[in-house]
Every structure is written in C-alpha cells, then in structure tokens.
Structure 1
Amino acid sequence: MPPPPTEQLFAVAAPGLEPALEAEAEAWGMRPRREEGGVVLEGPAGLHQEANVRLRTASRVLLRLGGFRAPDVGALTRGLAALDLGRVWNGTGTPRLLVAAHRSRVPAGAVLGAAARAWGVPGLARAGDLEEDDAEGLTLLARLEGDTCTVSVDTSGGLLYRRGYRQEVGRAPLRETLAAGLLVLAGYDGGEPLVDPMCGSGTFLIEGAWMSMRRAPGLERRFAFERFPGFAPAAWEALRARVQAEALSTPRAALAGFDLNAGALGTARRNARRAGVTLALERRDVKTLEAPGKTPGLVVANPPYGKRVGEGGELPDLYRALGATLKRAFGGWRVALLVPDEAVLIRALGLTGARSLPVRNGGLPCRCLLSPL
C-alpha cells in the first residue's frame, strides 16, 4: 500500500513563543521542528485543520504547497507555474501574495510580477505581513532563501488569537496566544490553582480555564481552509465533534482573579461568560491580597507598563508592592509575570534568580519572568 498523503506545515509563533509552541505541538504528537518564527509540522492530510483548532500558541498555520530552485526570475516563473494550486484556489478571485526574500538573487519586487504571469492573475495583490489580521480572501506566501523558493498558503485567515469570546478588552489588551504561551512556558497544565492578581479583562484566567477543561481554542471560529476547493465539510465536522467531545464541562482546578478596577472585573465576567467558564473574581488591592486557598499553584500577571495604563512614575512603587505581596502571601507557589524590558521595573519586583525570557507584547519588548516563590 502507498503511504498516506502527508502535509508539511509551518505554524507561526510570536517572537519568543517558539519553545511554547514546540512543547504544545509535541504534546499533541505533531512531531514539531523548531525554527525561527515558529515550528515545522509534518503529518497526514488534514493536519492543518487539527493544528488550527488545537494549537493555543500559534498565530497562523501555513500549508506548504511546494518548493523549487529559483536562481533567476525565469526559473522562478516556471516553478510558480508548475505548482498545483487547485486544492486551495479555484482560479476565481484575486489572491494576495506575501513575499519574503533572504540572500536571494531574485529581487523581492520581481516576485509579484513573476507570480502574476505564472498564474494568469494580472491584478495580483501584494500582502503586507503575517501579522495582518485579514479573515477574507486567499493569502499565499513565497519565501526565497538563496536559490530556493517555497510557496505556502495561509490556512487560518484571521489571526488565531481571535478565539471568539473576547468581544471586550481592557485598556491594555493581551493577545490570547501570548497569554496561553506564557502559561505553557510556566509549565501550567490546568491541574493546579491559577491566580491573576491584576486580571484586567481576564485573558490569562480564561485561557487557563480552557487548558484546565481541555477545551480546544478554535472550536468557535472560522478558518480560511473552509473556503478551499478541496474542503470536505463532513470530515471537518467529524474532527470538530471529536475535539469537542474531549472537553470537560468545568475546569479541573480553581481559578481566581483580582483587580482594583471594578470596570475591568465586569469585562472579565462577561468575557468568561462568553467563553463558557465561571471565574472567582473579586475587587482587591494587590497590596493587601492573600492567597485564595491553601493549595499552591501558579500566579500569573501582566502588570501595567506605563505605555497605555497609568503614569510611568508610579510604576516602580506598584511593582515593589506586587513583588512584596507575592513573597508574603504566595510562598510555595510559582509565578509567571509579563513585564516590560525595563531594568528598573524588573529590579523593583525583587524576584532575584527569576528565569527571564524575551517576548514581545503589542510590538513592545518584554520579559517573561518565571520563578518559584
């Protein structure tokens, strides 16, 4: 018997989250290979659907359509013309093309014209970048590395942080994929208590609740692959039903959130309701906070940066108060904090010996601090 058809994917991760995405994909048996910007996955046909619906820390899932040598524009045009795009494009409409070139003798500006000639699409549109949150139309990616060109198609559509539950955000929104990534980096598996002392709109807690419930993040949204000519609705619904059946009705551990802002807590409650989870939320000042319950777990927080919330001059005092509360009230717990990459604020926390990982939040350089208490 011939081997089953296989797919090669590139799951895109936000800067710094590649290890989290690798660990997550490995846990699902997807055989990841980490590269800069994400992980390569290989598996049976339909793997792109499972990756989109399951992976919490991926920003996009790209399906590789083919690769070829492209030492010059002529070879590039011939290689593009030989690609079989039939399973993702029926020839109608105008796709968008994202071009990434590194050490290539073919100028990036010439790729759009070569693709337009090869595919007979004079009005081929140039895409911006992979961070564009565009849920409509077909987006292809041509990556030139030296003499090699690899062409992929975006299977996700809108960026995967859009789970569907967060219709309201706080003043400094945190993407769901980044929240989930920090939880994975902290070793959170949903089986221990989770506390957010500055919970804002509740993103950390809702992502943690879904992890605790074994609920896949992509069950309530649509994907670009649903518009592919080769899309099989019955097979997709069977996959969704199987993934849905794995979910528990309630979290396996307690989750609690605190915030001094009553409006933020209201937003967190409504977001949690839309996500189908119940959170213990209470208005409290971080300075007087006590650990809820006697079983230790993980404390996670995204304290204000001063870029969008509050005044920069107040931040060191706030960070000192947070650090003092963590050491006073949460002995035996672990902590994961997303903080700006500013030495004065990191020192104010007083978490000596914390593991520090570089990440980005909304384009700002940040640090994920991981430490036992």
Structure 2
Amino acid sequence: MPSPPVEHLFIVAAPGLEPALEAEVKGLGGTPHRWEGGVALEGPAGLHQEANLRLRTASRVLLRLGSFRAPDGGALTRGLAALPLGRVWTGAGMPRLFVTSHRSRVPAGAVLGAAARAWGLPGLARAGALEEDEAGGLTLLARLEGEVCTVSVDTSGGLLYRRGYRQEVGRAPLRETLAAGLLLLAGYDGGEPLVDPMCGSGTFLIEGAWLSMRRAPGLERRFAFEDFPGFEPSAWAALRARVQAEALAAPRAPLSGFDLNAGALGTARRNARRAGVALTLERQDVRTLVAPGGAPGLVVANPPYGKRVGEGGELPDLYRALGATLKRAFGGWRVALLVPDEAVLIRALGLPGARSLPVRNGGLPCRCLLSPL
C-alpha cells in the first residue's frame, strides 16, 4: 500500500518573529524546525492551504518541489527537468524564477538558462531574492547551497500581511504579521484586556481582536495555490467553512485604543468595521491617559520614531511621557512596545529590566520591549 503524500513546507517569517511562528506552526501538527527566516514543516497533502489560512505571523508559505545535487550545468538542467512542475503550473503564462545562492559556484543566470531549457521556455525573468511585495503569476524560488539545488513554489501570492481589511493606513503603517507576532511574543491569547495608547490605524487592536475571536487571518483573501492544477474548489470551500465556524462572534475581552490624531482614529474605525470587530476608540493624549476600569491586561504600542514619521527632537520627551503614563496608570499590567533600536529612546521610556527582542519594521532595526508594570 503506497504511503500518503507528504508536503515539505518552508514558512517564511519576518526577522525576529521565528519563535512566534514556530509556536503557531505547532498547532498545525507535525514537528516544526526553526531556522533563521522561518520554520520548516512536513505534513499531509494540502497542509500549505491550512498554513496560509491560519498562520498570523507567516509572510509566505513555500512548498518544496524537489531538491537535487547540481555539480555542473548538465546536472542542473536534468534536475530541473525532473521536477513535478505540472503540480503547480498549467503551462500557461511565464513563471518567474528567483535564485539565491550560498557557497555555490553556479551563477544565478546559469540557473535561469537551465530552467528555460528544462521547461521548454524561451526564457525566464528574474534572478536574485524574491522582493517582499512581488506577486502575480507562478513564482518559483531556487536556492543553491553548495552543490545542492532546492526549488520551491510560493503558494501564498501576495505577502500574508495583506488580510484584506486595511484599505487605509496611517503615516507609519505597521504590518499585520508584525503586529500579531508582537502580541504572541508578549503572551497575549485574547483572553485579557488590550490597550493601545497610540493606536494609529488600529492594526494592533484588530489583530488582537481576531486572535481573541479565534478568527483565521486568511479568510478574506485569495492565494496563489488557487491557480494550481488539481486545485479542488469544493475541498477548499469546505476547509474555509470549517475554519470560519471556529470563530467567535465577538472578542473575549475588551480592546481599547487611544490617539491624539482624530484622522488616525477615523481610519482605525473604518478598518475595524471592515474587519468585523468592535473596538473602543477615543481621542486622548498619552500624557493624561488613564487605564480602563476592570482587570489589568496588556498594553501594546508602536510609538513614532524619527526615521519613520519625522518627529525629530521631540521624540525623547514623547517617550518619557509614555513611560511615565505606563508607570502611573497601568500598574499591574504587562507592556509590549515596538521601538527603534536607539538607546536614547529606550532609556527615555524608563522601563529597566524590560526584555528586549530584535525585530525589523519596514527594514528598520527595532526592538520589542516586554515588561511587567
């Protein structure tokens, strides 16, 4: 009796979010293996669909098509020709192939040429790393590690931070995957109050609400695998319906956002409406803010920083005010802050003993500060 098919996935995460992604992936079953840049996972056929649908911190889900030794051009062409490309490509259109290399003597251009010959194409576009926001058509990735070539297909399409609800952004948009990752790194499970004293367009709060509602982040978007040959719309519809049925009608705990900018609050309200969540949003200055009544929970914030919004020399004062409010009004709460990797601003917060985790936001080195108050 033949063994059931097994998928080999590499699930990509933004730098610093690998631990949060690994914890999420464990919920899909199997044994994840964390690497720099993501998590590897093996599982049954169709696992890539559930991963795209459920994972909050993943950037892309890559499905491995094959791995082979390629010591020379001939072996490279033969290995590429043997890949089961028919599983993911109808033969229409022109695939894009992105090539990365580590300790390999084979140039990226040679891989493109070998792939064109192997797959009977007049040529292939692109060499180099897959750009973050690149989407459209079949996207393949070849990684050369010494003499070993591994080829994968992007099953996601557009990056997975694109949930569908955020059609408007503030001056300094925070990606949904990073927001969800910081909440998970802070141990937020949706069962306690969540407050964002500088909520902007509401990304932290909406991601927190969906986490609290156990709502899968991929329910409102389309994925690249829906164009693969053999894709079964009825099976996919059944999976989506099952996952959607797991969601609660409302968050399990209150979520409150504050901001001094009335325009940002308007954006947050409209984003929340599109996401189908109810938030408490008020115009308040962080300097005079008081904690909502009831049990303590988690305070989360992405305060502005100069490279991001051009606040300049007023930033240390703002950070001191934020730190003072946290200590004055939120005793007994926990705090998770996304801040720039700048010692002067971190010191201004006055949170000694905070755990500091390196992450990146829009390519900028940042820190996730986690601390009890």
> What TM-score results when the alignment is normalised by the length of structure 2?
0.98
Tell me the residue number matched to 1:264: 264
Alpha-carbon contact 1:131-1:159 (below 8 Å) kept: no
Unaligned runs of 5+ in 1: none
Aligned pair in 2 of structure 1 residues 241, 348: CA closer, same or farther (>3 Å)? same
Superposition deviation, residue 178 in structure 1:
0.4
Match of 1:356 in 2: 356
Q: Which residues of structure 2 form unaligned runs of 5+?
A: none
Task: Name the amino acid aligned to 2:252.
Answer: R
Q: Does the 8 Å contact 2:7/2:42 carry over to 1?
A: yes
Q: How far apart, in 2, do the equivalents of 1:334 and 1:190 lie?
A: 14
What does the per-residue CA deviation read over 1:215-257, in whole Å, with 9 as the maximum and x for residues that have no partner? 0000000000000012111110010000000000000011000
Letter in 2 for 1:311: E
Counting only pairs closer than 5 Å after superposition, residues 218-297 of structure 1 correspond to structure 2 as: 218-297=218-297
Q: Give the share of equivalent positions with the same residue, in percent.
A: 87
Letter in 1 for 2:223: F
Structure 1 counterpart SS, 2:308: coil
Q: 2: distance between equivalents of 1:172 and 1:13?
A: 21
| Residue type at the aligned position of 1:336 | A
- 1:52 is matched with 52
Q: Residues 109, 218 of structure 1: CA spacing in aligned structure 2 closer, same or farther, 3 A cutoff? A: same
Distance 1:189 1:3 in 2: 37
Distance apart, 1:25 and its partner CA: 0.9
Aligned to 1:4: 4
CA distance, structure 2, for counterparts of residue 131 and residue 57 of structure 1: 18
State the distance in 2 between where 1:128 and 1:327 align: 48
Contact 1:206 1:277 in 2 (8 A): yes
Q: Where do residues 65-84 of structure 1 align in structure 2 (5 Å cutoff)?
A: 65-84=65-84
The answer to whether the aligner puts 1:111 opposite 2:111 as a matched pair is: yes
* Residue 189 (structure 1) aligns with: 189
After TM superposition, list the pairs within 5 Å mapping 1:1-373 onto structure 2: 1-126=1-126, 129-373=129-373
Shift of 1:128: 5.5
CA deviation string 1:185-207 (max 9, x = no partner): 10111011100000000000000
Per mean C-alpha deviation after superposition, the further-off stretch among 26-35 and 294-303 is 26-35
Return the alpha-carbon distance in structure 1 between the equivalents of residues 305 and 7 of structure 2: 41
Structure 1 residues 119-142: Cα deviation after superposition (integer angstroms, max 9, x where no partner): 111231116533432332000001
SS at match of 1:74: helix
Across the aligned residues of Structure 1 and Structure 2, the Cα RMSD in angstroms comes to: 1.1
Question: 1:99, 1:108 within 8 Å by CA — same for their partners in 2?
Answer: yes
Bigger drift between 233-242 and 305-314 goes to 305-314
Q: Which moved more, 1:70-79 or 1:241-250?
A: 70-79
Tell me the secondary structure at the aligned position of residue 86 of structure 1: helix
Are 2:112 and 2:127, in contact at CA under 8 Å, matched by a contact in 1?
no
Q: Give the distance between the partners of 2:258 and 2:178, measured in 1 at CA.
A: 20
Q: Counterparts of 2:123 and 2:114 in 1: how far apart (Å)?
A: 12
Task: Report the more deviating stretch, 256-265 or 28-37.
Answer: 28-37
Separation in structure 1 between the aligned mates of residue 127 and residue 224 of structure 2, nearest angstrom: 15
More displaced 10-residue stretch of structure 1: 339-348 or 126-135: 126-135
The answer as to whether partners of 1:72 and 1:105 remain within 8 angstroms in 2 is no
Alignment: residue pair count: 373
Contact 1:199 1:301 in 2 (8 A): yes
The question of whether the paired residues in 2 share the 8 Å contact of 1:98 and 1:126 is answered with: yes
Q: Distance in 2 between matches of 1:269 and 1:206?
A: 10
Could you tell me how far apart the structure 1 residues matched to 2:21 and 2:231 are? 26
Q: Which moved more, 1:306-315 or 1:89-98?
A: 306-315
Q: In 1, Cα distance between the equivalents of 2:293 and 2:100?
A: 51
CA distance in 1, matches of 2:293, 2:128: 49
How far is 1:78 from its partner? 0.8
Moved more, 84-93 or 21-30: 21-30
Q: Aligned partners of 1:91 and 1:309: how far apart in 2? A: 46
